[in-house]
Chains A and B, each alone.
Chain A
Amino acid sequence: MSRVAEFLLRRRGGASWHWTDIFTWAWLIGGVIMMFGPAIWLVGSSFKSPAALAEFPPTILPYVTAEAMVEGHDKPLPLYRVTGEDGETRVLAQLRRVGIVAQMIDPQAPGEIVKVNIAERTPVREISFATENYTEPFLHFDFLLYLRNSVFVTLMATLITLVTNSMAAFALSKYQFRGRSFVMLLILATLMVPLSVILVPLYSIISAMGLFNSLWGVILPTVATPTGVFLLRQYMLTIPDELIDAARMDRASEWQIYWRIVLPLTAPALAVLAIFSVVWRWNDFLWPLIVLSRKELYTLQVGLNTYAGELNVQWHYILAMTVVTMLPVVLVFVFLQRFITTGIAGTGLK
């Protein structure tokens, strides 16, 4: 045992442990528990039946009391493990409970009723994943619609963001014209104007354009991101101008230069912006909440909040749908987080 500990605690260069090392590992391991624990708890809970969710103390895995169909009874009966007076343990099905006495029968021999003190029986527990938490909201509630709306908003907004932002970035990095720095300043200044400051007038403009209760009303105000223009412009500045001059010499049009030369070279920055945009638009909450008032137009975030705000919260469905809402972002995290973290560390923008 001590040899194992010695092996585990051995350090490079034979240096001994300092209190800061212990603190470091405590912080890191605590961090893993704090950061991933709540999400894992959510996923674990989302597979529990309503009865299992109401249990206290809670379990990590979804346990339920096993049930069995017994001849002569319409409904399945809960199974209990009973230790008889002879010390033998039997599995019995419970018919009903009267006070502290449970009336039970043997599933194999359903004729005879056995009376058992409730203190002498323990429920038979088995793991059971309540997958209906996932299927029912999609089949009987509007969650399939919400999912479709969210996907539509995310994809469309990201596509438009990439096209408009890259065009603007191209103009701001590869052309000399009067007012260029003013335009750049204007775009950067709006980093100061978050959505929450212009809610009222933006809402009236969307309404005047007939975009209230329309997914386009959610999409359009979000696409001209200053972050995106800035990120792409910084990247395009590194593309040598000689390349563009050479293309002009070969009689390429400006549009072709943008489309065939600059955009392919900007692919890494475009990928970063695409990842950002997908996460932003998928997660948007306040603006869709204001623009969408018809239920069939809700995005996942708004729909989820609405169901979670009901007086009688159906947690088993809410938890499952929260997992579904979290899933795309978790996939981004698992496969693409390297792009995001380097993107943030490089530009300080989110």
Chain B
Amino acid sequence: MAASTIMKKTGAALVAPVGWLAALIDPPLRALQKATGLNGMAAFFLAPNMAIFGIFVLFPLVINFAYSMTGGSALFLSGRTYVGAEQYERLLTCENYLDKRSCVEDLFWNAAGNTALFVLFQVALMTVVAMITALILNRELRARGFWRAVFFFPVLLSPVVVGLIWRWILQRQGLLNYLLHQFGIDQVLWLTDRFWAFAAAIMVSVWAHMGFYALILLAGLQAIPKDLYEAAEMDGTRPARVFWRITLPLLMPNLIVVIVLALIRAVQIFDEVYVLTGGGPGTSTMFLTQYIYEIGFAQLIRNPGLAAAASILMGAVLVVLTLLQLAASRRNQNAGAAK
């Protein structure tokens, strides 16, 4: 309660100077309204957001295609030469597609392969853990709000903070190795061994985001009518059967949203893993976004065209995933309407 009064007070203090500014611009806006009518005012209200949106989202999206068809290291399009599909060819050409070392751009194939593996395991683990958490939070618990908050806490942390916390815990002489030592297990090189670094990247990102998905699943679970469960109980249905026959089918819409959202996010994984491992050891935890960042920005001789082509390929995957989600949610809506 105290927090909300503080918020109200700071809000009022912030709004006060904006208040007289708003009063000040009213007369010219009245004139505008007289001249252009209601449609004009609609355009006026839309303008700031759409201008920013157009300049910083839509326009870049369009010229991204132009960038992907040019070569050289010049930053502005005017200084770049048209090369057609050369960048895409460079990204996609391999002598043997099963061996990434035979590819022209082996770093890209490495990043793409890592990302695919990461997406597969991270989303699977995330969904299972979030599902168990949601099912548990949906039980009759005392102080459910508290428990819900517990699992949500890491979601708010910044990727840099997440990366650094775990880098500190997973380092060679860190807390985890100490705890393992207590159980008589030899120390594991969590961040410098190829396998364990990859596993750590998956575990840390699940840790950081699981609470968000558990929350969506919990909202779905709470929307399932209680009388269904009561009827099942009266029939003496076994709990496992209740889960497979009632809970899971009715939770499907939320579950699909969770899986697709998790997929979309996992494809773009970057920040926390970059801080945790820097993409290493070697390039074993380097994912697509980091590849784009390295090629387009971090390396000495930048290659914006190649980075743009790679980002378009990644964007294509994301569009497919989003369309899948839309199709799934529409089917669910139709199913819901049919009920």
Contact of A35 among B150, B164, B219 (CB under 8 A): B150
Q: Are B270 and A333 in contact (CB under 8 A)?
A: no
Which residues of B are found within 8 Å of A36, using beta-carbon distances? 150, 153
Which residues of A are found within 8 Å of B57, using beta-carbon distances? 190, 193, 198, 221, 224
Q: How far is the CA of A338 from the CA of B76 in the complex (A)?
A: 46
Which residues of A are found within 8 Å of B61, using beta-carbon distances? 193, 197-198, 201
B96 interface residue per 8 A CB criterion: no
Contact stretch, chosen from B165-173, B193-201, B331-339: B165-173
Which residues of A are found within 8 Å of B191, using beta-carbon distances? none
A57 interface residue per 8 A CB criterion: yes
User: Which residues in chain B, 28-54, are within 8 Å of chain A measured between CB atoms?
Assistant: 29-30, 33, 38-39, 41-43, 45-46, 48-50, 52-53
Q: Mark A29-42, 1 if CB is under 8 A from B, else 0.
A: 00110111011011
Q: Are B158 and A282 in contact (CB under 8 A)?
A: yes
Q: How far is the CA of A220 from the CA of B55 in the complex (A)?
A: 10
A237 interface residue per 8 A CB criterion: no
Contact stretch, chosen from A62-70, A98-106, A252-260: A252-260
Contact of A326 among B14, B152, B157 (CB under 8 A): B157
B82 interface residue per 8 A CB criterion: no
A197 with B59, Cβ < 8 A, contacts A45-B168, A333-B153 known: no
Q: How far is the CA of A183 from the CA of B11 in the complex (A)?
A: 31
B56 interface residue per 8 A CB criterion: yes
Which residues of A are found within 8 Å of B315, using beta-carbon distances? 193, 197
Q: How far is the CA of A322 from the CA of B38 in the complex (A)?
A: 50
Contact stretch, chosen from B99-107, B132-140, B244-252: B132-140
Q: Are B156 and A198 in contact (CB under 8 A)?
A: no
Q: How far is the CA of A104 from the CA of B114 in the complex (A)?
A: 58
By beta carbon, the residue of chain A nearest B314 is A197
Q: Are B297 and A290 in contact (CB under 8 A)?
A: yes
B123 interface residue per 8 A CB criterion: no
A200 with B168, Cβ < 8 A, contacts A35-B150, A207-B75, A279-B156 known: no
Q: How far is the CA of A255 from the CA of B161 in the complex (A)?
A: 42
Which residues of B are found within 8 Å of A171, using beta-carbon distances? 41-43, 45-46
Q: How far is the CA of A232 from the CA of B270 in the complex (A)?
A: 30
Contact of B311 among A23, A198, A309, A319 (CB under 8 A): A198
Q: How far is the CA of A255 from the CA of B157 in the complex (A)?
A: 38
Q: How many A-B Cβ pairs are below 8 Å? A: 269
Q: Are A253 and B26 in contact (CB under 8 A)?
A: yes
Can you list 17 A-B pairs with a CB-CB distance of less than 8 A?
A36-B153, A164-B52, A165-B49, A175-B42, A190-B53, A191-B322, A196-B268, A196-B270, A199-B311, A202-B56, A224-B49, A224-B56, A283-B158, A305-B160, A338-B145, A345-B218, A346-B219
**16 extra interface residue pairs, beta carbon distance < 8 Å, beyond A28-B141, A203-B297:** A28-B136, A36-B150, A56-B173, A57-B178, A163-B48, A198-B311, A224-B50, A253-B33, A254-B38, A254-B45, A290-B297, A301-B159, A322-B161, A322-B165, A337-B149, A346-B219
Q: Footprint of B on A, CB under 8 Å? A: 20, 23-24, 27-28, 31-32, 34-36, 38-39, 41-42, 45, 54, 56-58, 159, 163-165, 167-168, 170-172, 175, 177, 183, 186-187, 190-194, 196-205, 207-208, 220-221, 223-224, 229, 253-256, 258-259, 271, 279, 282-283, 285-286, 290, 301, 304-305, 308-309, 315, 318-319, 322, 325-326, 329-330, 332-333, 335-338, 340-341, 344-346, 348, 350
Closest 4 CB pairs of A and B: A283-B158, A168-B49, A171-B45, A201-B60
Q: Footprint of A on B, CB under 8 Å? A: 3, 7, 11, 14, 22, 25-26, 29-30, 33, 38-39, 41-43, 45-46, 48-50, 52-53, 55-61, 63-64, 67, 75-77, 132-133, 136, 139, 141, 145, 147-161, 163-169, 173-175, 178, 181, 207, 211-212, 215-216, 218-219, 239, 257, 264, 268, 270-271, 275, 278, 289, 292-293, 296-297, 304, 307-308, 311-312, 314-315, 318-319, 322
